[in-house]
Structure 1
Amino acid sequence: MPSPLAMVSKLKGAAIGATALTGVVLIGIPLAVGALGFTPAGIAAGSIAAKMMSAAAIANGGGVAAGSTVAVLQSIGAAGLPLAAKIGLTTTLGPLGAAVGAMFSKGKKPPGDDSQNSSDDDDEDSDGMEGTGKPPETPATCPPS
């Protein structure tokens, strides 16, 4: 069983991972959409967004279809992510970030713990003996007198 210090370290890693991944996505998506040219004032001239809108309009006979990729990205650029999207992303990415953070955090060992392996399963071979598969050494005993 992991030490309490290792558990605290894993919990800290999980909290940092959850916060980082969720924050990057909730802030990064609107920033990336804005960088493409989908702005609150509309689609920026000469941007990737303008090229996407032009292609969508040509494909649809002169207009951009409601619900299309261009329309959704323009909505995000103008008003940000809708509340439902924020809740969905947070609900999905929070636990994912926590799992990744806990997996990559290094557990601290308590003082005086010099063990190489923290896992109990790695010490057993197929024969159930610990170590290299050799039977454990028996302590030397004195012959009966």
Structure 2
Amino acid sequence: MDRVTSAAVGAGAQGSTPKALGAAGFTSGGIAAGSTAAKMMSASAVASGGRVGAGSLVSACQSKGASGASKGKK
């Protein structure tokens, strides 16, 4: 998945229903292997020289997923 597609999917996941976060792979247990979230994380790390920046789209989505938002919790 290219970076533009990843960003579009992530933007949709971040702003939409909690189920979308989980479906994309942003879960309370971390980013799910092989998921869209994992591909986004990989693309972000490659683009940033090996790290995922704080405040990035991937970071924001994972923060919501880790907080339980992907299961419908606030």
Tell me the TM-score normalized by structure 2. 0.68
In the alignment, is residue 76 of structure 1 matched against residue 70 of structure 2?
no
Q: How far 1:30 sits from its partner (Å)?
A: 1.3
In the alignment, is residue 38 of structure 1 matched against residue 26 of structure 2?
yes
Give distance in 2, aligned partners of 1:41 and 1:65. 20
Between Structure 1 and Structure 2, which shows a larger proportion of helix residues?
2
Structure 2 letter corresponding to 1:75:
S
Give distance in 1, aligned partners of 2:22 and 2:63. 11
Query: 3-state SS of the aligned residue for 2:33?
Result: coil
Give distance in 2, aligned partners of 1:30 and 1:58. 27
- Determine the structure 1 residue equivalent to 2:40: 52
Query: Could you say which structure has the larger radius of gyration?
Result: 1
Q: Which runs of 5+ in 2 are unaligned?
A: 1-15
Tell me the TM-score normalized by structure 1. 0.36
Question: What RMSD in Å do the two structures reach over aligned CA positions?
Answer: 1.8
4+ residue stretches of structure 1 with deviation over 3 A? none
* % identical aligned pairs: 62
Give distance in 2, aligned partners of 1:66 and 1:29. 23
Aligned residues between the structures? 55
